[in-house]
Amino acid sequence: MAEIVIVTREAPIATVQLNRPEVRNAISEQLMDELVKVLAGLDGDDTIRCIVITGSDRAFSAGADIKDNFVNATPVTMLDQDLTSKWEAIRRIRTPIIAAVSGYALGGGCELAMACDIIVASESAQFGQPEINLGIIPGAGGTQRLTRTAGKYVANELILTGRLIKADEARAIGLVAQVYPGASWLEDAKALARAIAEKPPIAARLATEAVDLAWNSTLDAGLEFERKAFYLLFATDDKKEGVDAFMSKRKPTFKGT
């Protein structure tokens, strides 16, 4: 049987491809468990410095598996799945994660992209939170992360109508960092990952943690964390290497120490 999550290690980057094409990469319980396992493994591997999560040309992910998860679901079965801890596990991955989206990123698929550190998209990408059409609302961060990204008025319009937006509009509302051509989107996303993987990994991890805090705390608490993380980095070999390289006009090589 084909793997539902395909991992390709090309150190210093790794690509994690969702692989349920017959259901547009809908997120079943099994897919979620596998994804959490795979990401935890990569996060523990020091040779991997940036992770790309992707799907296929046609779909990043069409969201929660409606047949598997919703048809006979009750509040109790939903609680039993313990989705919160699984989404939390993805959020806690310290290695920078890029969501490389082509085709549909809907519902939980859009929420998965938003749980990553950077979202890039092919021209064909379409994002949306269509849960309202099923009589429900986003349940894995959509109402919170989309609102923090696009603001209350845009988020409400998208969530209340279930309207899909294309890559350019997603970029205009701040959801997408870069839009790449349809022929090269995955290679372009990997090139971005390789560029990030060349940076000092301890600084990269602390940077994404600090950026997340800007969503999740007061300005004072965020500034406090940033200042301490900034000071902490002065104890690393990579800070010495970066400054030495600048002074001697050469390219730095960062070791992650």
| Cβ-contact 52, 100 below 8 angstroms | yes
Chain residue whose CB lies nearest ligand COA: 107
108 is catalytic: yes
Binding flag, residue 20, ligand COA (CB under 6 A): no
Which entry of 14, 26, 64, 203 is annotated as an active-site residue? 64
What would the x/- binding string for ligand COA be over residues 105 to 134, using CB under 6 A?
Answer: -xxx---------------------xx--x
Q: Residue 145, interface with ligand COA (CB under 6 A)?
A: no
Q: Quick one: which H or E segment has residue 5?
A: strand 5-10
Catalytic residue among 55, 99, 111, 204: 111
Residue 55 interacts with ligand COA (CB under 6 A)?
no
CB of residue 125 vs ligand COA: minimum separation in angstroms? 12
Residues 46, 47, 52, CA angle at the centre, nearest 5°? 100
Q: How far is the CB of 9 from ligand COA (least distance, A)?
A: 29
Token reading at 256: 């992650």
The residue range among 41-49, 56-64, 182-190, 234-242 that interacts with ligand COA, by the rule CB under 6 A, is: 56-64
- Closest separation between CB of residue 130 and ligand COA, Å? 4
Shortest distance (Å) from residue 169 CB to ligand COA: 17
Closest approach, Cβ 24 to ligand COA, in A, equals 4
Residue 189 vs residues 44, 170, 184: alpha-carbon distances, Å: 22, 17, 9
Residue 241 annotated as catalytic: no
Supply 177's token pair.
């960092």
Q: How far is CA 115 from CA 111, 146, 223, in A?
A: 6, 11, 22
- What's the count of helices (H) and strands (E) in the chain, helices before strands? 11, 10
Residue keyed to tokens 């806690």:
92
d(CA 257, CA 245): 16
Q: Tell me 70's DSSP state.
A: I
Residue 158 binds ligand COA, judged by CB under 6 A: no
Task: Please report, as ranges, the residues that interact with ligand COA according to CB under 6 A.
Answer: 23-24, 26, 62-67, 104, 106-108, 130-131, 134
Instruction: Kindly list the catalytic residues.
Output: 64, 108, 111, 131
